[in-house]
Structure 1
């Protein structure tokens, strides 16, 4: 191992000493800056083939560090809710134990919707999808009866009753309801390629090439879709198992479809359509009524999460709703979400705060964020500002640090570790400034890339000083050993 280290050291030392290390530092600055850009290439700029190759060769080169940094921003400054526009009716373990296991007969779900609708909510979003007919409906039960004379009258009577799907359709039609649908990349049983959703008006360039797109959807029965007042996609973007981005609009083949939060706001405001504002860079905003939500070019938003501990007050057990134990004010003029939270029947998601929350909680936080108007943003221009800052400071370091008479050069020669301390203090200042921008303006500035690239550039000049110091220490050790050997051979202390 030491042999390889010495060989590497012998090859790198001449390069670091050439022109006082400036060529190596320049190469490091430009190479890492390009790698950083390739990991988050601006959408308004054509992506060269070599950049794609570079990103494929070194995937997640800067992306992982960036994501972890942004997670730390949120952990140190989570959103504190200032309003509670959403109430979640959770089909929890207590409800399942009391009412029955999931899936329920749909007349029971209809009763739950009727109970909520009696308190006049603005909209009711179902984080559920029902692609198959209810097998507990009277007509389905009749079909399973033996064909005998004794059961003929019973079967006829059952078929004369309304199906559970028809009962649920009546409840959906009578209340401002929105049905969810699962987005899929592949065909499966009961999937389709269409969704009965409200129109989306586009102002500007076609956003379909930019947004998250799917080929199939697992939606509720056409009878239920026709009865509900809106349809929406249930989808979150996972990055290393963590939810950071939430799409507000998506593509289903060649059609734009809304997310559940945006469709609920459309129904709540009585709007006929959603609006999408785009330009050459992609989607700039998604709007409904007088609300416009600034988005990333892909039609998604970075969600500023609140801790689950601060949102537990929005949860109401479906059991209590069915038993009439819930104050009507919990639903009146509220946006109500209905979903599963019971163990084994819910999808749990990890947030940047490190918390495991039900998927329906994420939908609620999106609505809450839009109502409060508190958005996290990472606009395209911010990447250019970061790149310009890195290049400017990097070139300043390359010009100034190697100058033999500069104060920093004298310090590096005298106290190599002192320069390291100064560098760390400057990077701490960089991190604090970026965190302040996050807290004050909601902008996600990539302090990680600034730290990594500028540290590498500075290291090109610190390394020769450290290598020189290492050589001096080695020579001193050799001299000390020689003096000790001479003393042992003569039996006298060597002369000073």
Structure 2
């Protein structure tokens, strides 16, 4: 009894150590992802920010930023866009008369107004040789750009322009009105940290730009998923620093042109402008605290302003942005709160943040804080699952997940800090799922009948050989050319979870019996049952002519037999049985690999290992059977068709292997077009025409019984299209990559 208790205690300690080690490995892997912050994590964190912002945002604004909308009504009353510049001037004068603090113009006037009388006069002269004079039109009304320029001189108007990368423009062609920027560095600051620099600008007509008091760029770069979460505030160009349209409009409303950029040891931290400290990232971007969907800000039709339909005091002190919501003119952006969002309202949101001071930010130290939370959550989950019942672990994990989500929303809403709970949540779910499955697996292994039922199978041929000459098999073995088979039941863990241990044993008996019969029928030797797998080989202990052919025939027979047995398994056990079979021919050591008192007639060597690897590939490629080139070469049955699938290099091997799907010629007609289409696509793939091959594989996947096969190659083509393989690439896929 004492010995039994000691044995049980040791087993429990061993299991706990295994669970602790497994949890530690999972935690290390997830923590590594958190530390290195890959692009995919950045994309998912963006989505988490969107969800969190949707949950906590308030549509309440300061009421200061407004939108003057060149809407459909305005176009109907004032004519199609672009309007004559004098009409824009009249609109701006009306806004100034209504007392706006500043007007950001979200339009670009890059060329002269061709509708001006003077321009029309010049065009008629140039095109038709006609001398036209205007009667009753004063000289100063014949140039609409001059009229608008005179209005811009009197302010408070901010022209918009656009930076982009391309052929550098001549700096003298553009007048951009840079801000007066000073640097404020803390101790140990990165003094080489600077705002991003642009090489090219699309600016306003020189006459207008020279008349304006201020200007700002209206660029905004979306994140990689196309969502506009940030806006750049400062861009460096031609030695000067230039404000965004939103920042310029804010500065104009505060009657200042002074900006102070703050740096610390991490780089850019904030800018101070107009009495406000605005947090920025290391690229000069401000994270926008969006107030809501489109039309959250007060929006007034430009026609209403133009025709004096706006009350005198309604716009006093407002920061107005002149833009458009008209179809065909609107600059549409996707934001966290609205997939169809007018670009002009992005500026309004940014200015509202500056006025309210309720900025959102993600400091450089936040990923480190998330890592600490991840480690704490992982430790709690591991300890609970190791030393408590799974039920209590489920309660803890659920509580952790709820608290993480609530904490993320609370921190963003109260402190304006974006904390992403993504990786701690992944740690919770992954550790709980893995350790729970591991505990279940350990419990299953403890059931003796499963071990006894599947560890002592030997074929009749082996028993017969041992009876005839057991002395030859005790310690000796011989190298022979074998064809080795591995068969595995797909999704067996999920199947076993649905059944009682007794039902699992009965199911395996019902499955292994007909499969083993097919193997023996075609001259194969059953090596062993490995859990839910079968290992068998041909050409030992008895020599068999054409053993690759017999092995392939056995595989096709098992697949065909399983088709007929599927209904039986479904009715009896409520499960669908699927298999993966791998087949390889080559030299292996075969004989008794046991001890002097226990015979274990088996095969060992690289051939066996490769057959096992090939079986594992059937799941990746989504086909029930894969054979190697050596099997194809040794098969002399013309009624068997081989479909080349891929060229792979397994771990530890120097030479690549071609892998094939084998099928009977009677089944070939149903797949003939698909096989031909795959061959054509694979030829394009080998020829490095990955984009075209991707299209072919994707099209094949839509109607194929093996969609995963085509998607596997299509995904690979997509990666190679983005990042081509090296020049010496020969179409070989290294196992371990996707």
Shorter-chain TM band: 0.7 to 0.9
Determine helix, strand or coil for the equivalent of 1:321: helix
**In the TM superposition, what whole-angstrom CA distance separates every residue of 1:466-486 from its partner, at most 9, and x where no partner exists?**
3245666564214556999xx
Per-residue deviation, 1:371: 1.0
Query: What's 1:175 paired with?
Result: 155
Contact 2:101 2:156 in 1 (8 A): yes
Q: Match for 1:419 among 378, 393, 397?
A: 393
Partner of 2:360: 376
Structure 1: distance between partners of 2:507 and 2:205: 87
Among residues 401, 405, 417, which one is paired with 1:443 in the alignment? 417
Match of 1:81 in 2: 60
Mark the CA change 1:166 to 1:148 in structure 2 (over 3 Å): closer, same or farther.
closer
Q: Distance in 2 between matches of 1:230 and 1:207?
A: 28
CA distance in 1, matches of 2:231, 2:192: 16
Change in 2 beyond 3 A, CA 1:31/1:337:
same
- Which of 1 and 2 has greater Rg? 2
Distance 1:367 1:478 in 2: 66
Give the structure 2 partner of residue 281 of structure 1: 266
Distance 2:199 2:115 in 1: 31
TM-score w.r.t. length of structure 1: 0.80
> How far did 1:244 drift?
0.9
2:241 is the alignment partner of 1:256: yes
Aligned residue among 206, 213, 216 for 1:222: 206
1:362 and 1:207, CA in 2 relative to 1: closer, same or farther beyond 3 A?
farther
- Per-residue CA deviations over 1:5-64 (Å, capped at 9, x if unaligned) read xxxxxxxxxxx979414444333322322222322xxxxxxxxxxxxxxx4xxx31x222
Deviation at 1:440, TM superposition (A): 1.9
**For the residues of structure 2 that align with 1:94 and 1:469, how far apart are their CA atoms?**
73
Corresponding residue SS for 1:68: helix
Match of 2:77 among 60, 77, 98: 98
Q: 2:502 aligns with which of 466, 476, 491?
A: 476
Q: Which residue does the alignment assign to 2:119? A: 140
Deviations 1:102-154 (A, max 9, x none): 11111111111111111232111111111111111222211222479994352
1:30 pairs with 2:28: yes
What SS does the aligned partner of 1:278 have?
strand
Report matched runs for 1:144-159 at 5 Å.
144-146=123-125, 151-152=130-131, 154=133
Cα 1:150–1:102, aligned 2, differ >3 Å: closer, same or farther? closer
Structure 2 residue aligned with 1:195:
176
Q: Say if 1:124 and 1:381 are closer, same or farther in 2 by CA, change over 3 A.
A: same
Partner residue in 1 for 2:257: 272
- Cα offsets for 1:159-201 (capped at 9, x unmatched): 9554211111001011211111112122499997873322222
Counterpart mapping for 1:259-408 below 5 A: 259-308=244-293, 311-312=296-297, 314-395=298-379, 397-398=381-382, 400-401=383-384, 403=386, 406=387, 408=388
Secondary structure of the 1:328 match is: coil
Aligned partners of 2:209 and 2:115: how far apart in 1?
20
Q: Does 1:433 pair with 2:383?
A: no
Partner of 1:494 in structure 2?
none
Give the 3 Å change call, closer, same or farther, for CA 355–402 of structure 1 in structure 2.
Answer: closer
Helix, strand or coil for the counterpart of 2:305? helix
TM-score w.r.t. the length of structure 2 is: 0.55
In structure 2, C-alpha distance between the alignment counterparts of 1:181 and 1:323, rounded to whole Å: 28
Segments of 5+ residues of structure 2 without an aligned counterpart are 1-13, 448-495, 511-738
Tell me by how many angstroms 1:327 deviates.
Answer: 1.2
2:558 corresponds in structure 1 to none
Does 2:146 align with 1:166?
yes
Assess, with a 3 A threshold, how the Cα gap between structure 1 residues 254 and 31 changes in structure 2: closer, same or farther: farther
- Provide the rounded CA distance (Å) in 1 between the counterparts of 2:130 and 2:507: 106
| Residues 21 and 150 of structure 1, relative CA distance in 2, 3 Å threshold | closer
Q: d(CA) in 2 for partners of 1:290 and 1:373? A: 10
Pairing 1:66–2:45 present: yes
Distance 1:467-1:159 versus aligned 2 partners, 3 A rule: farther
| 3-state SS, counterpart of residue 369 of structure 2 | helix
- Cα distance, 1:27–1:321 mapped onto 2, change above 3 Å: same
User: Where does the alignment leave 5 or more consecutive residues of structure 1 unmatched?
Assistant: 1-15, 40-54, 485-496
Q: Secondary structure at the match of 1:125?
A: strand
CA separation of 1:303 and 1:334: change in aligned 2, threshold 3 A = same
CA positional deviation for 1:436: 1.8
Query: Against the structure 1 CA distance between its residues 308 and 327, is the aligned structure 2 distance closer, same or farther, given a 3 Å change threshold?
Result: farther
Whole-Å Cα distance in 1 between the matches of residues 123 and 377 of structure 2?
A: 77
1:308 counterpart SS class? coil
Aligned partner of residue 308 in structure 2, secondary structure: coil
> 2:4: which partner in 1?
none
Tell me what 1:20 maps to: 18
CA distance in 2, matches of 1:424, 1:147: 78
Paired residue total? 440
Q: Which one scores higher on RCO, CA 8 angstroms, separation ≥ 6?
A: 1
Would you say the 8 A contact 1:193–1:253 is kept in 2? no
Alpha-carbon distance between aligned partners in 2 of 1:170 and 1:194, rounded to the nearest angstrom: 16
Taking a change above 3 Å as real, the CA distance of residues 470 and 203 of structure 1, as seen in their structure-2 partners, is: same
Partners of 1:330 and 1:278 in 2: CA distance? 40
